[in-house]
Every structure is written in structure tokens, then in C-alpha cells.
Structure 1
Amino acid sequence: MSDDARALRRDWNLFTALTFLFSFGFAVYSGVFQNFLRDELHAGPLQLGSLESMREIPGFLTAIMAGTLIALAESRVAGLGLLITGIGIGATGHMHSFAPLVAITVFWSIGFHLYASMSSAITLTLAKGQEGGRHLGRMAAVGSVATLAGLGIAWLIKQLFEAVPYNTFFYLAGAAIFAGGVLCMMLGHHSASEGSRARLILRREYGLFYLLTFLEGCRRQIFSIFASFALILVYHVPLAHMLALQLINSILIAVTAPYIGKLVDRKGERGPLTFYSIGLIVVFLGYATTKTVGALYALFLLDNILFTFGVGFTTYLNRIVRKGELTPCVAMGLTMNHVAAVTVPIGGAWLWQRFHNYQLPFWIGVAIAAVSLLAMRWLPTGPPPSGRVSGEEEEMEAVEEKLGRV
């Protein structure tokens, strides 16, 4: 094995390990946070929606933040983001009133979104243009195994020590994410895209990608915030049950994610993402119409499995992107995603509290999923031509020719 191949393998091992650590820590944090809000701060839906909207403001500014750090390699930006996230999440348990909680949440959210804007681009760069969907699916599976481990440990701690303070969970989560940041700083040159990186990218030819990521942001916020909070606040599901539910979810994702990634590589994005949109309509309709807790559990699991199909958005961008524009395009897509993320939580929470009906945000979700289904018809059919998977490695003239055909 050549030195270059060994260096690539080392970078893959480091990136896999840091992906595990981040997902582990964030699973511990996410598994207990909404129960922490209810038990320690006695927060209602409007406070939750306000907090989530403010938490997503750094995501709205992702492209700008990433652009200001253009001199740093992607791995350094991502590592810095993980270090900030670990510190902020570790301190969360010390926030005993709403205003300080908002402040620390916005602080760690800056780091979280820096990492999020770089992680998929690093994956595709390490993949060297080969089977991007499979590698994204593999990283999703690693994240799911880590989530399973994090939720399992959190559940075990809760079972063994009933009165354990929430600080314990936040310290554990923050330490794992901080360790992931240290590993990220150790990544080598294979994790950095070749050539210079553009600062900000907003091109008409990427318009469909921006639209799809905007709609995905709406969907993600509605379900990730209101589905779990409805179970906790309306149906009084205890922490142990929520952790168990997320444990099952992680097992399902770990099993299905690699296959979904391979499916996207083999079939292209249009078919899988169309199926994804239809599935979302079913999930949102279910939450908007049923009040059976068992059915809501099943829909919760189904939505999280469907979420794995989202790798198709990134592989579609990788199919059409110009050389040197992958990372800033991903960052701009994340910004478009968060245009919705800043407004949807507070709007949905206002509807819930104003009309005393938690199901109203899910009816909006039905409409958004229907629009997404229509937008999928603009995606190209079939997989990318053989040997032309990654725009990062193509010559500019070849990229332009392909864009013309698409």
C-alpha cells in the first residue's frame, strides 16, 4: 500500500471516529433536552418554538460564516465547530432560566452549523468521486450506531440512577463532541477539496438544490420539534420511554442507511426522493389525524428512517456542481434550509398555543411535503454517467457540458 493510500485510510478512520463521537454526544443531548425543558424550566410549546428559532439563526448565516473562514481547510472549520459545540452543550445544564439557556444554545449552535456545513463535503472529498451515496449512507449508519450507543447509555444511567441530575448527561455529551473536534483537527490533506474554495455561491443552475433544501428545512423543523414535544407534553411520555423509542429508531437507521445510500447511487435521486416525499405526506397526515400513541410511535420511527433518503439532496448537488464549489454550495444549501428553520418553529408553536391544537403544524407539513413531491419531478432521471460522479474531480468544460444536458 502506498503512503498516499495509507494517509487516505487514516483520514477515513479519523473521520469515522469523529462522526461516531459527534453523533454519540448529540444523541445524549437530544435524548434528554426536551424533558429537561419540561422538568427544570417548565417550558411550554411557545418557549420551545422560540428557543428553536433562535437556535437556528446561526444556521441561517452558515454560508457567511463558512465564507469568512475560507483560508482554513474544511476539516479545520469543522473541528473548530465541534470544539465550540462541545463546550456549549457541556454547559447547558447550568442554565436554570430561559434567557441564559437561549444564549448558550445560540453559542453552541454556531459551532454545530459550521460542522454541519462541512461534514458531507468532507465525506464526498474523501470518497474521491466514487459512490458518494454509499459513503454518505455509511456515515449515516455510523451516526446511527453512535446514536444507539448514546441513547443506550443515557437510558441505562437513568435506570440505574433515577435521581441523576441532567448535568451528568450534558457533561457526557459535551465531552464526546469536544473529543470529536480534536480528532477532526488531525485530519490530513485528503479531507480538503483541491484548489481554491469560493466564498459564497448563489447560482441559478443550483436553484433546484436550494429549493429542495429549503423545503427539507421546513419538514425537518416541523417533525423534529413538534412530534417529540407532542409525545412529551400532550401524551406525557416519560424520559425512559422517549430514550427507548430513539434507541429503536437508531437501530432501524443503522440497518437501512447503507442500503438507501446504495439505492441512490444505483437509481439516481429522482425515484428515491419521490418515494421520500410520498412517505412524508403519510407521516404528517398520520400525526395530523390520529391520537393513538402507538400509531404516533410508529410514525415517529418511519419519519426518521425516511430522513436517510436526504443523502439524495447532496448527491444531486455533487452531480451538477462546478469544480471548487461543492463546499460553499453545501453551506449555501444549509443556509436555505435554515431560512425555514428560523421561522417555522416559532410559527408552528404560535399556532399550537393560539388554537390549543398540536396537530395544526402537521397539516402545514402535509402541504410542504406535497410541494416537495412536485419539485422532485425536476430532478434528472437515472444515475450519473459512469465515471462522472463527482463534479469536484471533473474538468470545468466537462462540468459545463453535463449541466447543459441536465
Structure 2
Amino acid sequence: MIKNLFKSRVALLYILSISMVFSFSAWMSLLNNYVVEVASFDGSQIGILQSLREIPGFLAFTVILVIMFIAQQRLAYISMIALGLGVFLTGLYPSALGLYLTTILMSTGFHYLETLNQSLSLQWLDKSKAPIVLGKITAAKSFTSLIVFVLIYIMMKFYNVEYKYVYAFFGLVTSVVAIVAWIGFEHFKDDVVQEKKLVIKKEYWLFYVLTFFAGARRQIFVVFAGFLLVEKFGLDIENMVTLLFVNSVLNIYLAPKIGKFIVKVGESTTLKIEYIGLMLVFTSYAFVDNIYFAFFLYVIDNLLFSMAIALKTYFQKIADPKDIASASAVSFTINHIAAVFLPFFLGLIWLYSHSLVFIIGALIGLASFILSFLVPLHPSQGFETTLVKKESIV
């Protein structure tokens, strides 16, 4: 059975996803409390750190240059090791400079791995089943996050383990799993030979724009939603981990159902629902004064992330199979264009108005919602947007 496991492409996708989440969830769930309690960060410093974290994401297109010399699967293992090493070192250097440098190392591994994971998923999974499998993988990632939060809670609540040892544990596990997977899994050949150059096609323009907005709104949630709970409501690490635990439990149950929902109603309808939800959540964030309502918003916001599967499968349906690796790298760069400057810019705004930061997020949701009407009910190669259909009628 174990021998067959190491011959399964889907199994490897699960391993890559779970290992990535194992260390990154620990890094992220501890971050807001760690930088406030140990490093004494303010809003502008956390904005700088998060901007630095996204620079490797902005440079994700360089994956294409690297896979000219290193196969995608092998590069994924190397990226996983870098991610684990970055997390391992985070707790050892609590100064601003130390955190900035370890964040760049961690982020380089994370974003390369995320880019390659998406590329391999869209290449290896059947289009008709991709949303369901990706939904199950999302659930597995959430279950992994749940385990991470339980371990962190036990380590810090009952045993008072220092931040540096918690970070070291989670980073080391990811690196070790990467080495085991590298040795154990067979190397899978590409069914379709991938382009080894950057591919930016006008046919994919809508996917690129929606990806850009997705990156912008993700930054507002990742950087400032959690920071709001800690700074405004004084949420401690135990309660923050409990909240993340609740998110994981809900995702385990709902993510596979969201995958099936996408198969049933299509990407266009799913994206519209996601963007309406974003507008409501961000507008509510701007004026929330009740900590329990803030908890509710944080949970709903997190669940909306699961619907992002629809954007991936929309691209899978419209893309030329040989473009997937290159276009995935380009899309990650586009996703992080706003991420490079937005946290720093919004960090400055945060010093004067928390509400304005989330109002900007609501406007991003509105722009995405308007554009979602251009996503066809049944997208395919040659029918990438509803504008194509209108032109063909004329």
C-alpha cells in the first residue's frame, strides 16, 4: 500500500499541500502575537514585513527560468525545504532585521512551492473532477491547520514553550517531509511538455485581472484582519489559535462541498457569491466594535477563501495545457503585484484609520463582482469571456 502511495500523483499533491500548510500555518498564526509581544512591532513595521513577504510571490515568474534546469517536481521539494528552514529560523531572530530576512527565505520557499503545486494540480487533475479533488485537498489542508493549532495551543498553554522552539519544530518537520518525499516518490513525467518561457496571452486577461484583485483583498485579510483582533480587541495567542481552530473545522466540512458546488453551478456563479460576501465582510470590518461579531467576520472571511478554487478551475478550462506551468507562474506574480506595495501603504493608512483600510477592501470586492459577469457559465478554450460570445454573434 505504501509502495502504491509513492506512485500516486494525487498523493504527492496532498503531501505538497499538507507540508506547506503545516509550517506556514504555524508561522502565520503566531506572527501577530510574536511581533507585538517579542519584537514590539507597530502597524508600519508589520506592513513592511508583509510587503517583504510578498516580494518572492511577485517574483514567482522566475519559476519558469528555474524549471529550465530543474524539473518541477524536484524544485517543489527544494522549495519545501527552504520554507521549513525559514520557519525554523524565525524564532531565533526576533529583531526587525532578523524577521525581515527570515521572512524572505520562508516566503521564497512558500511561493515557489505554491506556484508549482498549482501548476502540477492543473496539469495532473482531470477538468471534470478538479474542483472536487481541490476541495478535498483544501479540506486536508484545513485539517492540517487544525492539528497545527492544537499542537501550538498545547505547547504554549500547558507547557509554556517559547516561540523560538515552536517555530523550530514546525519548520523542521516540513523540511524532513520534503526529504522523505524526494527519496520516496517516483518522478512523474509531464503528460504535456510545458512551455519554458513566460506566457502572457490576451485571451487570459480576465483571469489575470481577477487574480490581481484576489491578491489585493487577500493581503487585507491576512495582514490586517488578524492584526485588528490583536491590536483593537486585545486577543491573546490562545484565543487567536482557538479562532483559527474553528476556521479549520468548518473548512474540513465545507471545502469539499464547495468543490461539488462549483461543479454543479459553475465558476461564474461561485465567483459572484464570493465577491458579494467579500463586500459585506469588509464593510462590516470597517465598523465592527463587538469582538464576537469580529470573530464571526473572521470566520466567514476565511470560508470565502475556499471559493477561490473557482478561479483556478476557470483558468484550467480556458488554458492551453502547455501554458499551465508558465501561466501559473505569471498569475502568481500578478497576484502579488498589489501585495508588494499594499501592506506598506495600508499600514500607513492604518495608523490614522482602521476603517478606511477595510473600505478599500470592500471596493476591491465590488470591482471583482462587476468583472465576474464576464466569466462564461461554461468557459473553455476559445470562449474565455462573455465578450468573445458577443463578438462571435456579430
Same fold by TM (over 0.5)? yes
Matched, 1:299 2:303: no
Q: For 2:76, give the aligned amino acid.
A: A
Does the aligned pair in 2 maintain the 1:137–1:311 contact within 8 Å?
A: yes
Matched, 1:233 2:226: no
1:177 is aligned to 174
2:307 to 295, 306, 309: 309
What value does the CA root-mean-square deviation take over the aligned residues? Answer: 2.2
Matched, 1:136 2:134: yes
1:165 is aligned to 162
- Structure 1 residues 116, 402: CA separation in 2 closer, same or farther (over 3 Å shift)? closer
Greater mean alpha carbon deviation, residues 238-247 or residues 327-336: 327-336
Q: For 2:173, give the aligned amino acid.
A: A
2:368 is aligned to 372
1:33 to 31, 34, 51: 31
Q: For 1:87, give the aligned amino acid.
A: L
Q: Report the Cα offset of residue 233 of structure 1.
A: 1.3
Q: Deviations over 1:26-49 (max 9, x none)?
A: 222222121110111100110000
Structure 1 unmatched runs, 5+ = 385-398
In structure 2, distance between residues paired with 1:225 and 1:126: 32
Does the aligned pair in 2 maintain the 1:19–1:180 contact within 8 Å?
A: no
- Structure 1 residues 405, 189: CA separation in 2 closer, same or farther (over 3 Å shift)? farther
Specify the SS of the correspondent of 1:41: coil
2:146 is aligned to 148
In structure 2, distance between residues paired with 1:180 and 1:127: 23
Q: Report the Cα offset of residue 236 of structure 1.
A: 0.8
1:78 is aligned to 76
1:360 is aligned to 356
Q: For 1:169, give the aligned amino acid.
A: V
- Structure 1 residues 292, 400: CA separation in 2 closer, same or farther (over 3 Å shift)? closer
Q: Report the Cα offset of residue 137 of structure 1.
A: 0.9
Specify the SS of the correspondent of 2:91: helix
**TM-score normalised to structure 2 length:** 0.92
- Structure 1 residues 44, 243: CA separation in 2 closer, same or farther (over 3 Å shift)? same
Q: Report the Cα offset of residue 21 of structure 1.
A: 2.6
In structure 1, distance between residues paired with 2:257 and 2:209: 26
Greater mean alpha carbon deviation, residues 179-188 or residues 296-305: 179-188
1:123 is aligned to 121
Specify the SS of the correspondent of 1:195: coil
In structure 2, distance between residues paired with 1:108 and 1:122: 21
In structure 1, distance between residues paired with 2:140 and 2:91: 27
Does the aligned pair in 1 maintain the 2:283–2:362 contact within 8 Å?
A: yes
Q: Report the Cα offset of residue 101 of structure 1.
A: 1.3
Does the aligned pair in 2 maintain the 1:14–1:183 contact within 8 Å?
A: no
In structure 2, distance between residues paired with 1:401 and 1:283: 32
Specify the SS of the correspondent of 2:195: coil
In structure 2, distance between residues paired with 1:123 and 1:251: 24
In structure 1, distance between residues paired with 2:54 and 2:335: 10
2:272 is aligned to 274
Q: Deviations over 1:251-273 (max 9, x none)?
A: 11111111111211222210011
Does the aligned pair in 2 maintain the 1:126–1:190 contact within 8 Å?
A: no
Q: Percent of counterpart pairs with the same letter?
A: 27
Q: Report the Cα offset of residue 166 of structure 1.
A: 0.4
Greater mean alpha carbon deviation, residues 207-216 or residues 131-140: 131-140
Greater mean alpha carbon deviation, residues 291-300 or residues 164-173: 164-173
Q: Report the Cα offset of residue 308 of structure 1.
A: 0.3
In structure 1, distance between residues paired with 2:212 and 2:202: 15
1:388 is aligned to none
Greater mean alpha carbon deviation, residues 181-190 or residues 148-157: 181-190
2:337 is aligned to 339
Does the aligned pair in 1 maintain the 2:216–2:335 contact within 8 Å?
A: yes
In structure 2, distance between residues paired with 1:296 and 1:93: 29
Q: For 2:147, give the aligned amino acid.
A: A
Structure 2 unmatched runs, 5+ = none
In structure 2, distance between residues paired with 1:183 and 1:313: 32
Does the aligned pair in 2 maintain the 1:76–1:184 contact within 8 Å?
A: no
In structure 2, distance between residues paired with 1:193 and 1:50: 41
1:324 is aligned to 322
Q: Deviations over 1:141-166 (max 9, x none)?
A: 1100000000111011112113x210
Specify the SS of the correspondent of 2:289: coil
2:222 to 221, 224, 231: 224
- Structure 1 residues 187, 72: CA separation in 2 closer, same or farther (over 3 Å shift)? farther
Q: Deviations over 1:233-262 (max 9, x none)?
A: 121100000000000000111111111112
Number of residue-to-residue matches in the alignment: 386
Q: For 2:166, give the aligned amino acid.
A: F
Q: Report the Cα offset of residue 19 of structure 1.
A: 2.3
| Structure 1 runs (4+) greater than 4 angstroms displaced | 5-9, 399-406
In structure 2, distance between residues paired with 1:17 and 1:335: 24
Does the aligned pair in 2 maintain the 1:69–1:77 contact within 8 Å?
A: yes
2:46 is aligned to 48
Q: Report the Cα offset of residue 350 of structure 1.
A: 0.4
Does the aligned pair in 2 maintain the 1:59–1:109 contact within 8 Å?
A: yes
Does the aligned pair in 2 maintain the 1:120–1:136 contact within 8 Å?
A: no
Q: Report the Cα offset of residue 401 of structure 1.
A: 7.9
Does the aligned pair in 2 maintain the 1:49–1:349 contact within 8 Å?
A: yes
Does the aligned pair in 2 maintain the 1:11–1:188 contact within 8 Å?
A: no
Does the aligned pair in 2 maintain the 1:63–1:335 contact within 8 Å?
A: yes
- Structure 1 residues 344, 170: CA separation in 2 closer, same or farther (over 3 Å shift)? same
Greater mean alpha carbon deviation, residues 359-368 or residues 16-25: 16-25
